Amino acid sequence: MIRDQETLNQLVDMIRQFVDGVLIPHENEVAETDQIPQKIIEQMRTLGLFGLTIPEQYDGLGLTMEEEVTIAFELGRTSPAFRSLIGTNNGIGSSGLIIDGTDTQKSFFLPRLASGELISSFCLTEPEAGSDAASLKTTAVKDGDFYILNGTKRFITNAPHAGVFTVMARTNPEIKGSCGISAFIVDSTTAGISLGKQDQKMGQKGAHTCDVIFENCRIPASALIGGVEGVGFKTAMKVLDKGRLHIAAISVGAAIRMLDDALKFAIERKQFGQAIAEFQLIQAMLADSKAEIYAAKCMVIDAARQRDAGQNVSTEASCTKMFATEMCGRVADRCVQIHGGSGYISEYAIERFYRDVRLFRLYEGTTQIQQMIIARNMIRAVS
Ligand code: COS
């Protein structure tokens, strides 16, 4: 759903200019230093980028899913590190609160997340619980008006910067599966929380992840999201339905950028006395990429509209995440191929994008998990 096309167009134009004029020119610096310059973070705050999806009553822009993916198509055209910094506040770090939080929890945290004063992280994955998220072992034991958290969370995006964590933990150890899990909103300065060393990733330099370790970490009972035990896994799954659409949209944006760069290169690069863009084998790679990007974009918009209409989009979110991220991987590969040897050299952005986009097929559920969700939903629908 688009509430007001003209206002959205203005926002998209502003973000497009910011991406082209500020973010793309700083991509190499971010890759080399593994840091986003502070002045860019300030600009992101001023532009309201930390609160794109946070409801207006909590000082965000309250974008609908269709509006959000439209913005994500633009943000995807630059280094994923920039998107990653604002991504948790707009997605997995705030959605749990927005979907299932109490009014008090929302009023306290959401305005701070919208302004970027606080960065949020989503703590689901553990060393022994990745794809099988319901097997997580972190415990939250009730102790009067408190819970005591113990456990380790792994690969937590933005954890080194986070002011607040959404933590999924087992409140009922008797129940081994998903029903024993609850979600908490945890102040990162609470005693008993420590961070592991920063992960050295294949790509996405400037986006930071690490372990978050809870050791006898005492949090108030009011930190229980929604005030209800045992529904934390469902909260996490609802968060991921939305997050998967966002990652799909970012994948479309990244593929558009890679193809733009490859097209430009193919037009400029001459071999055998002519631009390589004139060769049909190059054209096939350009055309296949264009068509697949178009298909993924249509899927993202359709699924976003269905979610805005209040429909359950679990299947569509997984279909879209699977198709768009796999498409992005194929486009990355073809665009390296079009660049030839230059595609393997860091002077060209495609070398970095090739590594950066590899993560899209892994996080927020691997392609194989999306396949499993889609097939299970199909089978359940008829049985
Ligand atoms: N929305 C709401 N509820 C959902 C849901 C969704 N999208 N998906 C599942 N649930 C509910 C189910 O209805 C079920 O509820 P009941 O017990 O009341 O029937 C409960 O949650 C458990 O679901 P399910 O039985 O499907 O859980 P499984 O453990 O079998 O499988 C998968 C869950 C594999 C789908 C889940 O663990 C998953 O998505 N794994 C990948 C995790 C991931 O993406 N990690 C990335 C890191 S986070 S960046």
Q: Is the same domain home to 246 and 356?
A: yes
Cβ of residue 134 lying under 6 Å from some atom of ligand 1:
yes
pLDDT in tens, 163-218: 999 999 999 888 888 999 999 999 999 999 999 999 999 999 999 999 999 999 99
Cβ of residue 155 lying under 6 Å from some atom of ligand 1:
no
CATH of the domain at 88: 1.10.540.10
The conformation of residue 218, written as its DSSP 8-state character, comes to E
Cβ of residue 365 lying under 6 Å from some atom of ligand 1:
yes
Distance between alpha carbon 166 and the CA centroid of its chain, in Å? Answer: 15
Q: Is the same domain home to 223 and 250?
A: no
Q: Is the same domain home to 215 and 242?
A: no
Q: What are phi and psi of 169, to 5 degrees?
A: -145, 160
Domain termination site, one of 67, 85, 115: 115
Q: What's the pLDDT score for residue 172?
A: 87
CATH of the domain at 153: 2.40.110.10
Residue with CA closest to ligand 1 atom 47: 364
Q: Is the same domain home to 130 and 81?
A: no
Q: Is the same domain home to 245 and 364?
A: yes
Pocket test for ligand 1, best of 125, 136, 234 (most atoms within 8 A of CB): 234
Q: Which residues are catalytic?
A: 364
Shortest-distance atom of ligand 1 to CA 373: 35
CATH of the domain at 356: 1.20.140.10
Across-strand partners of 224?
184
Mean pLDDT of the chain: 97
Are 44 and 116 contacting, i.e. CB atoms less than 8 angstroms apart? Answer: yes
Q: Return the amino acid letter for 112.
A: R
Determine the Cα–Cα distance for residues 73 and 361; give it in Å rounded to an integer. Answer: 17
Q: Is the same domain home to 164 and 220?
A: yes
**CA 239 vs CA 35, 48, 168: distances in Å:** 27, 21, 12
Compute mean pLDDT per 10 residues along the chain, 383 residues long, and list them: 96 98 98 98 96 97 97 98 96 95 97 96 97 96 98 98 97 90 97 98 98 98 97 95 97 98 98 98 98 98 98 97 98 98 97 98 98 98 94
Give the distance (Å) from ligand 1 centre to CA of residue 293: 28
Q: Is the same domain home to 249 and 377?
A: yes
Q: What's the pLDDT score for residue 175?
A: 86
User: How many other β-carbons are positioned within 10 Å of the β-carbon of residue 345?
Assistant: 11
Q: Is the same domain home to 376 and 249?
A: yes
Q: What are phi and psi of 22, to 5 degrees?
A: -120, -50
Angle at 165 between CA 162 and CA 171, to 5 degrees: 160
pLDDT in tens, 62-116: 999 999 999 999 999 999 999 999 999 999 999 999 999 999 999 999 999 999 9
Shortest-distance atom of ligand 1 to CA 376: 26
Q: Is the same domain home to 287 and 172?
A: no
Total domains in the chain come to 3
The number of C-alpha atoms within 13 Å of 353 and in the hemisphere containing its C-beta is 34
Residue with CA closest to ligand 1 atom 6: 237
Q: Is the same domain home to 253 and 202?
A: no
Q: Is the same domain home to 249 and 222?
A: no
Q: What's the pLDDT score for residue 299?
A: 98
Looking only at the bridges linking them, the beta strands covering 164-170 and 120-123 are: parallel
Q: Is the same domain home to 225 and 287?
A: no
Q: What's the pLDDT score for residue 86?
A: 96
Q: What's the pLDDT score for residue 177?
A: 86
**CA 130 vs CA 18, 63, 226, 270, 360: distances in Å:** 35, 30, 25, 47, 15
Q: Which domain holds residue 62?
A: 5-115
Domain termination site, one of 115, 146, 174: 115
Domain termination site, one of 229, 250, 268: 229
